[in-house]
Amino acid sequence: MSDKDQSRPDPAGELQGADAALQHIVDGYLHFRHDVFPQQEELFKKLATAQSPRAMFITCADSRVAPELITHSAPGDLFVTRNVGNVVPPYGQMNGGVSTAIEYAVLALGVQHIIICGHSDCGAMRAVLNPHTLKKMPTVSAWLRHAEVARTVVEDNCNCSTEGESMQVLTEENVIAQLHHLRTHPSVASRMASGHLFIHGWVYSIETSEIRAYDSAQDRFLPLDGTFPTPSATPKGRF
């Protein structure tokens, strides 16, 4: 076989790889069905007709971020919404899944906490810094315009010397920007004003497991490690 032939894609091999990936997922389900579910059957019976989650968790679609694992939560604890870049569109701009989920979580489920969680090494944030990489992804490009305010803040004020430093600052600024967007939603603004809803901005480090949380009183991110009172992004209620 020539070098040219060797460089050609092997459809059969790719298909086998795809089959193996799916089988891994199916095997995982079977393990859940036969080994995990029986141990928690009573919990799932309670959840079969109702849910009362402790919090709404808005995070990135990145496969390395697992909200239930990170927070050691059980089924029914978190109402999770995931999208590219943990974005929250301002109210009225896009009647899409994120806005719908927020309204449902606040008004139908009565959640008391909404957490927006960014993370390290975020591909969406890297794309925000390098928009030319999205030429073939117009819908992603349009979606990430909701992070434009964070990019502008970083470009105008950071004086970052490396892309790694820019990424870290941008990830935090994006969380702050999405918190501001979140507060434009009428259901959120009303419940926050009455002191019945609390919002939080976190950044999770994949490599170290550390979470840093935004504290609005100090206007900075602090470790979520129990040393300090839990940082909060929520202004005091007015009513």
Model pLDDT for residues 107-150, shown as the tens digit of each residue? 999 999 999 999 999 999 999 999 999 999 999 999 999 999 99
What share of the chain in percent tops pLDDT 90?
Answer: 81
Verify whether residue 60 is a known catalytic residue: yes
Token pair 């007015």: residue: 238
Beta-carbon contacts of 128 under 8 Å, excluding residues fewer than 6 positions away, are 85, 144, 147, 148, 150, 151, 170, 174
The CA distance from 184 to 180, in Å, is 7
pLDDT of residue 229: 84
Catalytic residue of the set 62, 151, 212, 215: 62
Average pLDDT of the segment spanning 170-198: 96
Asked: is 51-223 a CATH 3.60.20.10 domain? The reply is no
Catalytic residue of the set 122, 151, 185, 215: 122
Verify whether residue 62 is a known catalytic residue: yes
Domain ranges for the chain: 9-50, 51-223
Tokens read off for 219: 């206007």
Whether the pLDDT of residue 30 is over 90: the answer is yes
Catalytic residue of the set 19, 31, 33, 64: 64
Verify whether residue 212 is a known catalytic residue: no
CB distance 200 to 213 below 8 Å: yes
Catalytic residue of the set 60, 117, 146, 200: 60
Average pLDDT of the segment spanning 180-186: 96
Average model confidence (pLDDT) for the chain? 92
Catalytic residue of the set 117, 119, 146, 212: 119
pLDDT of residue 143: 96
Verify whether residue 151 is a known catalytic residue: no
What is the reported pTM? 0.90
The CA distance from 58 to 82, in Å, is 6
**Residue 96: how many CB atoms within 10 A of its CB?**
11
pLDDT of residue 1: 46
Beta-carbon contacts of 224 under 8 Å, excluding residues fewer than 6 positions away, are 202, 210, 211, 212, 213, 230, 231
**Band (6; pLDDT cuts 50, 70, 90):** low
